[in-house]
Amino acid sequence: MEETTPSQKLHLVMGGRVKDPRSLEFQDPESLHVVGIYSSYDAAVDAWRAQAQRTVDDAEMRYVVVHIHKLLTPEV
């Protein structure tokens, strides 16, 4: 029987200080700031934007949206 329920799409918003402002390599991955996990991309972008705006003057701070659902089920 084929499942008809849409799969849940989770998004993680996290950030921290990067080694180089042109990269995504974090200086201290153990101290990353986890903003939260969101069930919609729009909510994740809103959270990302709020954190990015707070740190806009610090070029070494970077926040990202990670599509957790793509890691859990890469075929979707």
pLDDT tens digit string along 22-45? 999 999 999 999 999 999 999 999
The reply to whether the predicted model has a pTM over 0.85 is: no
Quote the tokens at residue 15. Answer: 């950030």
Q: Could you tell me which residue, 73 or 62, shows the higher pLDDT?
A: 62
Closest by CA to 37, choosing from 75, 62, 71, is 71
Residue 54 has pLDDT above 50, yes or no: yes
Q: Domain 11-72 belongs to what topology?
A: Alpha-Beta Plaits (3.30.70)
How far lies 57's CA from each of 31, 39, 46, in Å? Answer: 20, 29, 19
**Residue 6: its pLDDT value, please?**
54
